[in-house]
Chains A and B, each alone.
Chain A
Amino acid sequence: MDIKLQRLDNCRWLVPKTGAMRVPGLIFSNDELIKRLKSDQSLVQVSNVASLPGIVGHSLAMPDIHWGYGFPIGGVAAFDLEEGIISPGGVGYDINCGCRLMTTLLTDEDVRPRIKETVSALFSDIPTGVGSTGAIRLTKSEEAKVASEGAAWAVKKGFGSIEDLDRTEDRGTLQGADPSVLSERAIKRGSDQLGTLGSGNHFLEIQSVEHIYDQDTASAFGLFKGQVTVLIHTGSRGFGHQICDDFLKEMSSYVTTHSIQLPDRQLACAPVKSSLGQRYLAAMACAANYAWANRQILMDRTEEALLKALSISPRELGMRLLYDVCHNIAKIEKHPLEGKTVKLCVHRKGATRSLPAGHPLLPAIYRNWGQPVLIPGDMGTRSYVLAGNEGAATGSFLSACHGAGRLLSRTQAVKMARGRSINRELANKGIYVQSRGRSTLKEEMPDAYKDVSQVVQVVHDAGLARKVALLKPMGVIKG
Chain B
Amino acid sequence: MTIKKPRYELLDHTADMGMAVNSSGLQELFKQAAAAMLDIILENPPKGKGRKIRVSLEGADLTDLMVRWLGEILYMLQGDGLVVTDIEFEHLTSVSLRAVAQTVPFKPGIHIIRHEIKAVTYHQSLVSQDGTGWKTKIIFDM
Contact = CB atoms under 8 A, between A and B. Distances in A.
A62 interface: no
A242 B118 CA distance: 9
Interface in B31-48: 43
**Do most interface residues of chain A lie in helix, strand or loop, or is the interface mixed?**
mixed
A159 interface: no
Contacts of B112: 438
B139 interface: yes
A252 B10 contact: no
B119 A408 contact: no
B118 A408 contact: no
Nearest to B121: A69
B16 interface: yes
Interface string A264-286: 11101000000000000000000
A265 B122 contact: yes
Contacts of A69: 13, 15-16, 121-124, 139, 141
B115 interface: yes
B82 to A, nearest CB: 13
Contact of A266 (B78, B79, B123): B123
Contacts of B12: 409, 411-412
Contacts of B75: 185, 242
A245 interface: yes
B123 A70 contact: yes
Contact of A67 (B14, B119, B142): B14
Contact of A268 (B16, B78, B122, B141): B122
Interface residues of B, number: 32
Contacts of B64: 252, 256, 265
A87 B16 CA distance: 19
Interface string B43-85: 1000000000000000010011000100100010011000000
Given A200-B116, A412-B12, A264 B123 contact: yes
A264 B71 CA distance: 18
A408 B75 CA distance: 28
A241 interface: yes
A410 interface: yes
A239 B106 CA distance: 19
A183 to B, nearest CB: 10
B118 A266 contact: no
A307 interface: no
- Sort chain A's interface into a size bin: 35 or more
A94 B16 contact: no
Contacts of A268: 122
A241 B13 contact: no
Contacts of B68: 249
Contacts of A238: 78-79
Interface string B87-121: 00000000000000000000010001111101101
A66 B15 contact: yes
B124 to A, nearest CB: 7
Contacts of A212: none
Contacts of B114: 437-439
Contacts of A253: 60
B116 A252 contact: no
A252 B60 contact: yes
A248 interface: yes
A406 interface: yes
A278 B33 CA distance: 34
A73 interface: yes
Given A266-B121, A411-B10, A242 B79 contact: yes
B17 A265 contact: no
Interface string A393-414: 0000000000000111111100
A411 B12 CA distance: 7
A407 B114 CA distance: 21
B113 A410 contact: no
Given A69-B141, A249-B68, A131 B113 contact: yes
Nearest to A129: B113
Contact of B14 (A89, A129, A189, A409): A409
Contacts of B121: 69-70, 89, 266
Nearest to A40: B14
B125 interface: yes
Contacts of A407: 14
A409 B10 CA distance: 11
A252 B122 contact: yes
A199 interface: yes
Interface in B1-35: 10, 12-17
Given A189-B78, A253-B60, A411 B108 contact: no
Nearest to B71: A245
A264 B67 CA distance: 14
Interface in A58-104: 66-70, 73, 89, 92-94
Given A67-B13, A92-B141, A268-B122, 20 more contacts: A42-B14, A69-B13, A70-B122, A131-B113, A189-B78, A189-B79, A198-B116, A200-B118, A238-B78, A245-B71, A245-B119, A252-B60, A252-B122, A264-B122, A264-B123, A265-B123, A409-B14, A409-B15, A439-B114, A479-B116
9 contacts: A69-B13, A73-B15, A131-B78, A185-B79, A252-B122, A264-B122, A265-B123, A437-B116, A439-B114
Interface of B: 10, 12-17, 43, 60, 63-64, 68, 71, 75, 78-79, 108, 112-116, 118-119, 121-125, 139, 141-142
Q: Which 6 A-B pairs have the closest CB atoms?
A: A69-B123, A265-B122, A266-B123, A130-B116, A67-B14, A69-B121
